[in-house]
Amino acid sequence: MSWCAVVAMAATTATGCTDGTGGDGNDEGRDRTQRTTRTHPAALTWQQEVRVADALQRLTKQCMGRHGFAYWEDLGLTLLESRPVRFVQDDVAWARTYGYGSRIEAKSARVRESNPNGAYRQGLSYSRRAAFDVALDGGDSARMLTASLPGRGEIRKRIGGCTQEAERTLYGDPAEWFRTSKTALGLSSLYGKQLMEDRRLSAAVQAWSHCMKKAGQPYEDPQAARDAVRAETGRLGPAHSDDAFTGERATAVADATCARRVSLRAVATERETRYLDRLRDRYGEDIDAYRHFGRRAYERAVHIVPERD
């Protein structure tokens, strides 16, 4: 996956944006054009998204209990460990502690493998196992939700039981939440190529690369740095995991330091916001609805679970 494809999936989908018309990064005059702006709802921060996910688990557990089943919440990672590692990572302190998150990924895999819900379900009798499935997500009789992916067909998901009840409690309408979320989060496929060719973003990445070379880390873009770290970790093997992690942290710290120095996040966010704004005539209602659903869910989640430690 190219570096800009990763940016497109990770940058401004988590921010508010303004509405207007403007340039594509290849016409400096257009970028100075006056734009009419109005406020749109901001999407959730990653911390807020974690809290909503925790609230969904808490509601599911409570619902399963009412149906006579045990259910364990997945709280295996701390809040900081749950932070998504996006293409532009400019938190130097986080990088100094976690590198690019390889050990968090390994911990998360161990948590999934030891998930007690699977073992509990397998320990049930055939009839109770079927009842567990129906209680959790509606089983085979669950209704099917359908959503269009911009420019890429459709996606479906079964929903019912406690999963549906939890989503309804937080979002209000699970079907509309599913539809608008898949639309809003899939819009990057419509402007990824333009973003990849954007002059301002390319210039910022080149500045980042120059900074990295001066720091002894000769990489063209952040994805290349992460790919190299992953390859080196695989080459060294488990016996040298500490050495590999030391190298990972060094590269990640240089990456974050250079990203901050050249304001790579600000540039990526501004450029992607500009391309996303161009789609508002067609998709603006879905974008705003998705963000309204998210804010509603978070406002309800704060009354259900505390923020994760």
Cα(30)–Cα(17) distance, rounded to whole angstroms?
18
- The pTM of this model reads 0.85
Q: Is 154 helix (H, G, I), strand (E, B) or coil?
A: strand
pLDDT at 18: 33
pLDDT in tens, the chain (309 residues): 344 444 444 444 433 333 333 344 444 444 433 343 467 889 899 999 999 999 999 999 999 999 999 999 999 999 999 999 888 999 999 999 999 999 999 999 999 999 999 999 999 999 999 999 999 999 988 999 999 999 888 999 999 999 999 999 999 999 999 999 999 999 999 999 999 899 999 999 999 999 999 999 999 999 999 999 999 998 888 877 999 999 999 999 999 999 999 999 999 999 999 999 999 999 999 999 999 999 999 999 999 999 999
Residue 60's H or E segment, with its range, is helix 46-66
Tell me the DSSP string of 269-291. Answer: HHHHHHHHHTTHHHHHHHHHHHH
Contact 35, 17 (CB under 8 A): no
Cα(118)–Cα(182) distance, rounded to whole angstroms?
28
CA atoms within 13 A on the CB side of 164: 18
Amino acid sitting at position 36: T
Cα(146)–Cα(178) distance, rounded to whole angstroms?
8
Longest CA–CA span in the chain (Å) reads 70
pLDDT at 236: 87
Amino acid sitting at position 148: S
Cα(265)–Cα(11) distance, rounded to whole angstroms?
8
